[in-house]
Structure 1
Amino acid sequence: MAIENSGVAGKPGELAGRRAVVTGGSRGIGAAVTRGLVEAGATVVTSARSEPPHSPPGAAFVTADLSTAAGVSRFADTALDLMGGVDIIVNNAGGCRSFQSVLELENDWQYTMDINFLAAVRLNAALVPAMRRSGGAIVHVSSIATVAAYPNLLHYAAAKSALETYSRGLAAELAPDGIRVVSVCLGNVETPASRRARDQIVGPDGGNPDDLIEQWAAEIPLGRLGDPEDIAEAVRFLVSPRASWITGSNVVIDGGKTASLY
């Protein structure tokens, strides 16, 4: 039997006065995280390559291509101009363009590293100096692809593995400044991006994409794919005062998928 999201929310107003940036916030997980932070009282600036018809309410949106150094710099400068500082960074932007053998991915390696790893490195470098004065929290969104070793996702897995290693090292470096750093390692979450991936994997002549969803859900002990709100609740907790002694951790949120591999 699938176990549904209970919808339990954090404390209202617990992030009042906090200033947050969320990358990849136009839809899916990023939009859910943005909504959760706004509901908790934070001021939020979010970004994506293009603004969707319905941006998360209550947040400022900045159009920026975070796969480029110039795009990251523009987003960081705009966020600081709008808020005067930053207390929370959620590096959520990521993904990959193709699902192929690792030997056929030459043209996709650089983009995949740029958007999944270097975007976070560059944004943190731009924003952390403003955080050192008052502390804060940084969350990096990673994937169970780092441990499950899916053959057609090795470029994505390599980039996310780099992100997790970087996250642990950054946590140690920034702890004296009162800045906590954690990563969240996600399983299969039902989002517009995952639906596009599913359709690409199946292909035009590969059958019914819904059959692939059923297969994925059957491999998850809790019986269902994740919902963006599942991730948003975890992130909201991790950036809140309730998680004040958590840093350097990699929190797995996958419905038990990786536990079932061992």
Structure 2
Amino acid sequence: MPKVFQGRVVLVAGLASGLGEVIATRFAEDGAKLILSDPTADVAAMARKIQGDHPTCQAIGVVADFTDCPSCERLVATTMEKFGPIDVLIIATVTLHMGSVVSTEPDDWDRVMAFNAKGPFLLCKTVVPKLTRPGGAIGVIGSFTAQMGFANAALYSASKAAEMSLVRTLAVELAQEGIRVNTVAPGYLWSNVDQQSLEAAAQKTGRTLEEVRAARDSTIPMRRQADAREIAEAMHFIVSPAASYITGACLDVNGGLLVR
């Protein structure tokens, strides 16, 4: 397969869930210049591992708080100093919160909205001026919950819906500059966040983890969760030249959840 991102600068923001690392690895296979960033994950160790496994790529890790504008500005400055203009921004930030509207506390709202909605806003605000023109691309990991009523995920769903609206608006604002902005919206998939959700459900219901997963997967038309690599491939496509006429779109990768 052609390595369409060979030598191109790709900033991946959000590694703690596990999905961001899989996405970064997919671009490393192309020989990209990678910047891995997260407020909590050991991004330096991830960068060393990815570069060791894929010698044709370059990778560095930069710790950054995406809810803080000066921190995002330092992330961009470090990227520019190391690699120059940014070709692709991947936003894979995920903070999960389960609970009804009534049970959700105002502090929970502020925390999740800060990471899932304010964070992507600040990343775009600081990265967009440094994106390649034309040809730059932004890919954001969304969620199927942003597109449907999903009981006991009121806050998470609302934060991801806000993020999706940001993507659509930014796509319109940047279209004439040759920058595309799209969402990849997974359904259920392997990730640290998904594991936490299943464990919480098992504890709440008194069922085993395997029973909870089987019941959950039975609601998916394809009867299985996604592998993180399948999401990474979708992200690779949507920010690649192969998707050159796609912007403001939501690429649903959910095994048919939304067409039940």
TM-score of the alignment, normalized to the shorter chain, above 0.5: yes
Judged with a 3 Å threshold, the aligned counterparts in structure 2 of structure 1 residues 177 and 230 are, in CA distance, closer, same or farther, namely same
Write the distance in 2 (CA, Å) between the matches of 1:249 and 1:176. Answer: 16
Aligned AA for 2:152?
A: N
- Uncovered stretches (5+) of structure 1, i.e. residues with no partner: 1-10
1:57 aligns with 50
Secondary structure in structure 2 of the residue aligned to 1:102: coil
Secondary structure in structure 1 of the residue aligned to 2:142: strand
1:120 aligns with 120
Judged with a 3 Å threshold, the aligned counterparts in structure 2 of structure 1 residues 256 and 203 are, in CA distance, closer, same or farther, namely same
Write the distance in 1 (CA, Å) between the matches of 2:222 and 2:36. Answer: 31
Quote how far apart the aligned CAs of 1:84 are.
Answer: 1.5
Root-mean-square deviation (CA, aligned residues, Å) is 1.8
Aligned AA for 1:192?
A: N
Secondary structure in structure 2 of the residue aligned to 1:50: coil
Runs of 4+ in 1 over 4 A off after TM superposition: none
Write the distance in 1 (CA, Å) between the matches of 2:223 and 2:140. Answer: 26
Quote how far apart the aligned CAs of 1:61 are.
Answer: 1.2
Quote how far apart the aligned CAs of 1:77 are.
Answer: 2.6
Judged with a 3 Å threshold, the aligned counterparts in structure 2 of structure 1 residues 53 and 85 are, in CA distance, closer, same or farther, namely closer
Quote how far apart the aligned CAs of 1:205 are.
Answer: 6.8
Quote how far apart the aligned CAs of 1:15 are.
Answer: 0.9
1:115-136 superposed Cα distances (whole Å, 9 cap, x missing partner): 1111111111111111154431
> Quick one: higher RCO (CA 8 Å, sep 6+), 1 or 2?
1
Write the distance in 2 (CA, Å) between the matches of 1:170 and 1:90. Answer: 14
Judged with a 3 Å threshold, the aligned counterparts in structure 2 of structure 1 residues 75 and 52 are, in CA distance, closer, same or farther, namely closer
Judged with a 3 Å threshold, the aligned counterparts in structure 2 of structure 1 residues 109 and 38 are, in CA distance, closer, same or farther, namely same
Secondary structure in structure 2 of the residue aligned to 1:252: strand
Secondary structure in structure 2 of the residue aligned to 1:80: helix
1:10-55 superposed Cα distances (whole Å, 9 cap, x missing partner): x332111211111113552101110011112211101121306951
1:105-157 superposed Cα distances (whole Å, 9 cap, x missing partner): 22111111111111111111111111154431101111011123222111111
1:4 aligns with none
Aligned identity (percent) is 29
1:174-202 superposed Cα distances (whole Å, 9 cap, x missing partner): 01111001111110111122101211232
Aligned AA for 1:137?
A: A
1:36 aligns with 26
Judged with a 3 Å threshold, the aligned counterparts in structure 2 of structure 1 residues 201 and 245 are, in CA distance, closer, same or farther, namely same
1:46 aligns with 36
Judged with a 3 Å threshold, the aligned counterparts in structure 2 of structure 1 residues 205 and 152 are, in CA distance, closer, same or farther, namely closer
2:99 aligns with 100
Aligned AA for 1:229?
A: R
1:171 aligns with 171
- Uncovered stretches (5+) of structure 2, i.e. residues with no partner: 52-58
Write the distance in 2 (CA, Å) between the matches of 1:60 and 1:117. Answer: 25
1:8 aligns with none
TM-score by length of 1: 0.89
Judged with a 3 Å threshold, the aligned counterparts in structure 2 of structure 1 residues 108 and 42 are, in CA distance, closer, same or farther, namely same
1:136 aligns with 136
Quote how far apart the aligned CAs of 1:204 are.
Answer: 6.7
1:7 aligns with none
